[in-house]
Structure 1
Amino acid sequence: MNPSNLLPLIPSPLAQSSSAALQWPMLREHIAGHTFSPLGRAWMLALEPSADLLWIETQQQRTDEWRRFLTRGGSFDFHGLFDPTALLEKGRIEGSALEGLEIRDLLEVVERVAAWRNLLTNAPAEGQRNWPGIVALSERLLGYDLANLLRMLRGKIEPDGSLSDDASPELRRIRRAMERQHRAIEESLRKALRSFSDGGSTQDELITVRGERFVIPVKAEFKRKVPGVIHGSSSTGQTVFVEPFETIEQNNELVRLLDEEQGEIHRILVAMTRALAADATPILLGTAILAEVEAHSARARFAQDLDCVRPRFSVPGAKPIPSGIKGVMDEPAAVGLSLKSARHPLLELRMRRDHRARQLEEGSDPTSSPGPTPLTLALEPEARQLIISGPNTGGKTVALKTTGLLALMAQAGIPVPANEAILPLFTGIYADIGDAQSIESNLSSFSAHIVNVNRIAAEATEDSLVLLDELGSATDPEEGAALAVAIAGHFLRLRTWCCITTHLTSLKVYAANNKGVLNAAVGFNQQTLTPTYELRLGVPGASAGLNIASRLGLAPDILAEARAQMTTQTADIGAFLDQLHEQLAAAQTERLALRQREQELTRERLRVETEGRAEQKQRTRELEKKLHTLLEDFAYQLKETVKSIDDKKAAQKLSRDSDLRMSRLRREFSEQFNSTVVAHTTGADKNDPHAVPHQPKGIKVGDLVKLKSLGRQARVDRLIDARTYEVSIGPMKMRATIEDIAEVETVKAVTPLEAAKRRGGITVSTKNEDLDYTPSEINVIGRTADEAQQEVERYLDRAFLAGLPRIRIVHGTGMGILRRTLRDYLKSHPHVATFSEPAQNMGGQGATEVELRQ
């Protein structure tokens, strides 16, 4: 059940001690805390980094897939998983029977395995494409089916491990017989109790059990008066337990039934054990798969918590990764080592805990705290060595530990806390960090460091990562400096990836004078005399020991004497480095100010553009409203002019012609107005060669489109070609080109609330806009004659444009005023062909049916 690293990265005691120095076991323990089962926890705790690129990418891919699964709201229950190997081996012994509790535990494992198989089997093809690595891991399990085993075992084991009555028909029959026998024995004993209690022979009126036989308690002095078999006495000897003669046969029958029950239970347990052993292969396979999947789940939860990213590996000449393991390796990373905004995970977690604890003590709501200062560094194949210098407590050791721990995480298949991580594939990661003093080995700190460095030098290769903290310290400064330069030169010649922290000026000079070595400095604020923990590449750092001592309150006379002891060269170097860092800080401040100014200019430009568009829309609406009012006034004046004509027939014809012409003019005006607005918005009216009139895209069957020619909304029924569509407005069908379509509204799924608004296939609108479909009936009951005529006039225009062949006007009977007014109006309406009164059962005089012109 352990992870199968083919090429473990930590095979030697030296590498193991290095991983401990980098706190790898502590991190692994934390991630294991995200598991739910002992099996998943054991898998996570056994995880080690690997030098097998395919294994690493497979692990990273599966963790990444599970992280996306969690982001989409997915979940799986891993509770109850354990290693079933021992129980299944026991079950394979011929005639063996597992205990009920053991079978219950195995059943829970089988349930989890079956649930996982069902999740993969029932997932749609698109879902499986989202996690190919997880599917590949579980592929062998899909060939097995545990449904028959579950049908056999489900519902037959109680939570306490006993068998339920449904375990078999024979067991149910036996237990029913036992219940009847219990009742018969109890009834017989109660009769005996009543007869013996009259003489005071029995202790009290109760029935108890001794040796699986029902008995009654009798006072010791009356035991001769109660005929039966004595089955022991109480601890005081004052009570004996007697089985009356008349219940002996009944108790014998009960004992026989008990023996039958135990025999049947044993037979069922043997059958269950045999069934579990028969399916041992898929159970063991499924359990092993779920153990790894839960480990991926723990890593994914950890990655979400710390906002981790999937690392990339720079491996020149590496074989292509199989297509199933896709993602990062589809695009090979640039060769080198690069970390952007990397954080030490354990340090960030500790800072969060401390921040929450402080807030709880203060009584405020605990919120997330800022993590450690991010680390950014970059090494190239031709510059693999980094010398980090700077003040104490400035973050040099944290930089080493962060680099080493993130490399271990990446090669163990764990996402790393950074904005970006590009790493070589290391075959060994070695660290000499902290006080290595060993009293047991009789080694001083210096001696222990040298022994450790010597071992690292013997094992390291050009594919190793070596991390050395305070190289050359704990001995004479001059000798330590010479030794540090020699050790650094040795790893430089090996072309080992190497990071070294130091206070020694000789190492800073060594880095400046040797190709393939970079200087780096941890930040230090000269005004506040406090470290900034920021790593700056390309420049050495000043140790600032005297400045820090001054901040900590060391006596001024001692500081003055110390400064006098410094050589002129050393003082000049320190002053130069201080000046250099001040200039770098000023340049960084200026860059941040320029970036902030650029962001402000961008926001201001967007604001001006947004306000300009809003003003343009408002002016367009005002213009449209004014033009619409002018058209309405013109139509009114035209109608009044027609009414003044004496010739009634000519007036009617002229009225019909004018109405038709006004409808056409409205459509033409609407189309021209919309085109003008679009041209003005896109710049087409200014001869802009890049301005293109808006044409909607992605139109599909079922969408609602706005037609420029009709000013109406239609539904797309069929796509004739790329630029022509068949649309419908009510019952009327027509063809429309893409140039005639102003806008597209994708039809959404109808909710229960929307469905409740549907009546007779007509959509009920809650806005004062045109309906998607014009209803075939209008109700004007309760209106005045003028109000009814105005509503009917507007309704006739909509019905005619919608292509309705006939409509129905409901006006009621009453005194007949509405009926006469509306029918007189219909006689001269240009859209009306004929109208009639419906049959009595269809409304009679209370309604009018109208045939419209086509």
Structure 2
Amino acid sequence: MRRKIDYELVLAGYEKYCLSSYGKEYLRSLNPGTVELESEYGCISEMITYIRESGIPDSDAFTEVRPLLGKVENGLVLDGTELLEFLKFFEGVGNLKKTFKFQRGPLFSQNLLATLTSRLGNYEELVKAIRHVVDEQGNVKDDASVLLKKIRTEYAETVKQLRHKVERFVSNYQNLMQELTYTIKNERYVLPIKANERGKVKGIVHGTSASGLTVYVEPEELIPLNDRLKVLLEEESREVTRILRELSSHIFQSAGHIKRDIEVLKRLDAIIARARYALEHNAALIIPSGRYLKLVKARHPLLAPDKVVPIDLELPTDKLGMVITGPNTGGKTVSLKTIALCILLAKSGFPVLVSESSRIPDLKVFVDIGDPQDILENLSTFSGHVVNIKNALEMADEDSIVLIDELGSGTDPYEGSAIALGIIEELIERRIKFIVTTHLTPIKLYAMSHDKIVTASMEFDPESLAPTYRILMNVPGASHAFEIAAKYGLPENVLQRARKHLNEDHIRIEELIKNLNVHVSELEAKKRELEATLREYNKQKRELEEKYKLLKVKRVEEFDKEIRNVYKEIQEAKRNLQIALQSTRTSSESLIKKRLKEIEREEEKVQALQDKIEKVMYETAFQKEERSIEVGDFVRLVDGTAVGKVVEKKGEKFVVDFNGIRIEVKPEKIVKVQTKPESTVEVPEQGRDSRTSMPRIPLKTNEIDVRGLTVEEAVEKIDEFIDQLVLSDFSVGYIIHGKGTGRLATGIWNYLRNDKRVKSYRFGRPDEGGVGVTVVEV
């Protein structure tokens, strides 16, 4: 089946976004029924968000190390360059773990990627060991071991001594030498002596030049040093091999972990590939369910984006089949392949080229598409179709969909129509979903009269005499055979002769269908215009809503800036008051009272600004329906779970009855709930005492969650958190307080603006949690 719908070619389109062979292997292993779709699509969704914000993750972890791992498992020793490949892999794995460990934002609430990458091993010790032993060129360092350093130091000293002797020899025997230099033969330092002067130099001959004029002699005084160099080289080789073997052994001991990590990396690479594909092609993540098929703006993956015409079709749950008709080359076969690919890809965990409003059924797919004739099997086109359909009928059940291209073709049209209708009736009786394409008029008429079948057709432009490749729902299609024949040059007299052989009923039916197609095409064109207008409206609406939210956040930050300025004025007024109190020249109480009133006015300003912040936070956090409160509504306190009934409105406040206890509250302190709750008794949380401080422990994460705490409790924890933050390696911390009414956030900001340890603070960006998080820099 995969071959018939070009599945392998489509799969290659996803594979090209993989960072390694790991991901390609994983993608090829995906099949319907073998994938936990919620987890897979959740990971892809998180990866899409990450790539939008931060780009493609570090690819070093996807270094191919399996051949090297096989070498280690076979007892072989890795060389320096091979160890560098493992180093790249180990460091890449560590980077990936760090990358997703601290991911924040709404789509990372499940932390699926963090959970997945947390399974990766810790290779810090191996990284240190390799870096200690191997340099960036793959050479073993002198400091790799004490013995190696000693050997190389002695070797360098011996070479120095040897060269000194060579220089002295050259200086003393210049007339005997062919060239005033030395060379190395058989790993020994030798001198080029003139052949006719050989007898004047005592030593060992290691060869002659091609001309025979030069003899390469190792003088006697160089022999002990050359011998020592050779011994040192052998000792160095043994020590290097020992070091490399020891490192290879450590990697061998981690082979099991590495293999398990590679399985994780396969999936992760495949997740990255599918996320990149979804971003580049605007593909949707849709989990198949039920029996409802609805494709909106569906595109075939192999067609060029600038040429493909998206299709829309719908096969509801209460309908069993669809019959698609229309002219040749109109796109019926491509449409069937698109449908099959959408279902199979979605069931295998791939993003599909459809709009997010599409619905894909959880059904097994059976197809008969293309020309199935086989010379070796002695099958004609018709008999090949019959074999495919027979196999589909044997295996399909109510949880299946059967896709058949050109049903009833390849044989006599009259008999082919009868067989096609028999197949359709069998599918309907067994409640098997199906979509078929055909040219045969009896099948069109049968579909139009059956309440379980949806009719559809490929749109045809009567002016250009060309197909548009769009699907028109609930309307049969004409074949347009005469129009197409005329377009491609068949003589008019031949067409006139042909028309005489058509019966009047057939001509009348074809004309009715053509006229219906024209009207439906006009309606579809108007519908597309309206949809485009609606999309533009929704886009502008979303943009305005985002801008509105940003403006609210900006207002809160402006209020905070104003509060800080007022605080400075209060502090200045307090200093002036202290001076007045301490001054021996001040005897009048009026000046002191005046200063006190100034301070009180400034503090009232602060309270007014804090009330404004709470109101803005309240409007940002809750929908208008939740904030529209009337007498008689049931409400809950936004900072708690207690629910009561609004019994009265007093000025700007509401009177709320909480199980017989009536209190007056501001509108921004309560939010409407739909139904009256069952009476509950709040049980105090055990083991919680805000007066008891926990012993201080080292800071492991740069975030703290204070949601659900009172302002006093939160401030106490934040004070300790900032202390630890200052002493840690972190310079930035995240305080998670939630949105709510803003009371908790306001209290925290009141505390932060007076804390000298805090350099700056702000609300989180959208990817950091928005106004539900305060980011502090110490």
TM range (shorter): 0.5 to 0.7
- The alpha-carbon deviation at position 149 of structure 1 amounts to 1.7
**Aligned-partner Cα distance in 2 for 1:413–1:596:** 30
Contact conserved, 1:156 with 1:164, CA < 8 A, in 2?
yes
**Aligned-partner Cα distance in 2 for 1:279–1:599:** 54
Contact conserved, 1:310 with 1:421, CA < 8 A, in 2?
no
- The alpha-carbon deviation at position 159 of structure 1 amounts to 4.8
Match of 1:734 in 2: 603
Match of 1:102 in 2: 82
Instruction: Give the AA of the match of 1:225.
Output: K
Aligned CA distance change for structure 1 residues 275 and 126 (closer, same or farther; 3 Å): farther
Aligned CA distance change for structure 1 residues 68 and 599 (closer, same or farther; 3 Å): closer
Counterpart mapping for 1:285-296 below 5 A = 285-296=260-271
Instruction: Give the AA of the match of 1:154.
Output: R
Matching residue within 410, 422, 428 for 2:359? 422
Match of 2:347 in 1: 411
Matching residue within 403, 407, 419 for 1:483? 419
**Aligned-partner Cα distance in 1 for 2:295–2:479:** 24
Matching residue within 48, 51, 59 for 2:33? 51
Match of 1:119 in 2: 99
Instruction: Give the AA of the match of 2:113.
Output: I
Instruction: Give the AA of the match of 2:246.
Output: A
- The alpha-carbon deviation at position 131 of structure 1 amounts to 5.4
**Aligned-partner Cα distance in 1 for 2:553–2:115:** 42
Matching residue within 50, 62, 72 for 1:81? 62
- The alpha-carbon deviation at position 82 of structure 1 amounts to 4.6
- The alpha-carbon deviation at position 212 of structure 1 amounts to 1.4
Contact conserved, 2:566 with 2:606, CA < 8 A, in 1?
no
Aligned CA distance change for structure 1 residues 389 and 193 (closer, same or farther; 3 Å): same
Q: Given the alignment of the two structures, is residue 280 of structure 1 paired with residue 262 of structure 2, yes or no? A: no
The more displaced of 25-34 and 73-82 is: 73-82
Contact conserved, 1:92 with 1:274, CA < 8 A, in 2?
no
Q: Given the alignment of the two structures, is residue 535 of structure 1 paired with residue 474 of structure 2, yes or no? A: no
What does the per-residue CA deviation read over 1:18-65, in whole Å, with 9 as the maximum and x for residues that have no partner? 112212111211211112223233333x2332225x612222111111
Q: Given the alignment of the two structures, is residue 340 of structure 1 paired with residue 340 of structure 2, yes or no? A: no
The more displaced of 35-44 and 287-296 is: 35-44
| 3-state SS in 2 of match to 1:474 | coil
Aligned CA distance change for structure 1 residues 236 and 159 (closer, same or farther; 3 Å): farther
What does the per-residue CA deviation read over 1:323-362, in whole Å, with 9 as the maximum and x for residues that have no partner? xxxxxxxxxxxx5111111111221xxx25xxxxxxxxxx
Instruction: Give the AA of the match of 2:302.
Output: L
Match of 1:67 in 2: 48
Match of 1:435 in 2: 371
Q: Given the alignment of the two structures, is residue 576 of structure 1 paired with residue 493 of structure 2, yes or no? A: no
Q: Given the alignment of the two structures, is residue 185 of structure 1 paired with residue 162 of structure 2, yes or no? A: yes
**Aligned-partner Cα distance in 1 for 2:538–2:67:** 67
- The alpha-carbon deviation at position 493 of structure 1 amounts to 2.6
**Aligned-partner Cα distance in 2 for 1:589–1:553:** 30
Aligned CA distance change for structure 1 residues 238 and 706 (closer, same or farther; 3 Å): closer
| 3-state SS in 2 of match to 1:531 | strand
Unaligned runs of 5+ in 2: 540-551, 572-595, 618-778
Matching residue within 178, 186, 191 for 1:216? 191
Matching residue within 135, 139, 146 for 2:114? 135
**Aligned-partner Cα distance in 2 for 1:152–1:374:** 56
Counterpart mapping for 1:820-831 below 5 A = none
- The alpha-carbon deviation at position 532 of structure 1 amounts to 1.5
What does the per-residue CA deviation read over 1:160-194, in whole Å, with 9 as the maximum and x for residues that have no partner? 53312232233223222212222222222233233
Instruction: Give the AA of the match of 1:292.
Output: R
Q: Given the alignment of the two structures, is residue 302 of structure 1 paired with residue 277 of structure 2, yes or no? A: yes
Matching residue within 212, 220, 223 for 1:248? 223
Matching residue within 537, 541, 559 for 2:495? 559
Instruction: Give the AA of the match of 1:248.
Output: I
Identity score, percent:
29
Aligned CA distance change for structure 1 residues 697 and 291 (closer, same or farther; 3 Å): closer
| 3-state SS in 1 of match to 2:442 | helix
**Aligned-partner Cα distance in 2 for 1:581–1:433:** 26
Unaligned runs of 5+ in 1: 1-17, 316-334, 353-369, 604-694, 719-726, 748-854
Q: Given the alignment of the two structures, is residue 175 of structure 1 paired with residue 157 of structure 2, yes or no? A: no
Instruction: Give the AA of the match of 2:143.
Output: D
Match of 2:428 in 1: 492
**Aligned-partner Cα distance in 1 for 2:599–2:210:** 97
Match of 1:703 in 2: 560
Contact conserved, 2:61 with 2:96, CA < 8 A, in 1?
no
| 3-state SS in 2 of match to 1:421 | coil
RMSD: 3.6
Match of 2:751 in 1: none
Match of 2:9 in 1: 26
Match of 2:760 in 1: none
- The alpha-carbon deviation at position 440 of structure 1 amounts to 2.7
| 3-state SS in 2 of match to 1:72 | helix
Counterpart mapping for 1:134-173 below 5 A = 134-141=113-120, 144-173=121-150
Is the radius of gyration larger for structure 1 or structure 2?
1
Match of 1:358 in 2: none
What does the per-residue CA deviation read over 1:378-425, in whole Å, with 9 as the maximum and x for residues that have no partner? 112331311110011211111111111111211121111111331122
Aligned CA distance change for structure 1 residues 197 and 561 (closer, same or farther; 3 Å): same
What does the per-residue CA deviation read over 1:198-244, in whole Å, with 9 as the maximum and x for residues that have no partner? 1xx33322322122111122333433332211112334544332111
- The alpha-carbon deviation at position 156 of structure 1 amounts to 2.7
Matching residue within 8, 14, 35 for 2:18? 35
Instruction: Give the AA of the match of 1:703.
Output: D
| 3-state SS in 2 of match to 1:174 | helix
Contact conserved, 1:339 with 1:375, CA < 8 A, in 2?
yes
Contact conserved, 2:24 with 2:270, CA < 8 A, in 1?
yes
The more displaced of 160-169 and 302-311 is: 160-169
**Aligned-partner Cα distance in 2 for 1:97–1:594:** 69
Contact conserved, 1:229 with 1:245, CA < 8 A, in 2?
yes
Q: Given the alignment of the two structures, is residue 511 of structure 1 paired with residue 470 of structure 2, yes or no? A: no
**Aligned-partner Cα distance in 1 for 2:501–2:481:** 14
What does the per-residue CA deviation read over 1:783-808, in whole Å, with 9 as the maximum and x for residues that have no partner? xxxxxxxxxxxxxxxxxxxxxxxxxx
| 3-state SS in 1 of match to 2:604 | strand
Aligned CA distance change for structure 1 residues 510 and 136 (closer, same or farther; 3 Å): farther
Counterpart mapping for 1:368-767 below 5 A = 370-419=306-355, 420-426=357-363, 428-589=364-525, 703-704=560-561, 733-736=602-605
- The alpha-carbon deviation at position 251 of structure 1 amounts to 0.4
Instruction: Give the AA of the match of 1:195.
Output: N
Match of 2:632 in 1: none
The more displaced of 78-87 and 96-105 is: 78-87
**Aligned-partner Cα distance in 2 for 1:164–1:208:** 27
- The alpha-carbon deviation at position 524 of structure 1 amounts to 0.8
Aligned CA distance change for structure 1 residues 79 and 447 (closer, same or farther; 3 Å): farther
Contact conserved, 2:368 with 2:389, CA < 8 A, in 1?
yes
- The alpha-carbon deviation at position 308 of structure 1 amounts to 0.9
Contact conserved, 1:696 with 1:743, CA < 8 A, in 2?
no
Match of 1:257 in 2: 232
TM-score w.r.t. length of structure 2: 0.68
Instruction: Give the AA of the match of 1:466.
Output: V
Contact conserved, 2:365 with 2:402, CA < 8 A, in 1?
yes
Contact conserved, 1:38 with 1:82, CA < 8 A, in 2?
no
| Equivalenced residues, count | 579
**Aligned-partner Cα distance in 2 for 1:66–1:74:** 10
**Aligned-partner Cα distance in 2 for 1:136–1:99:** 35
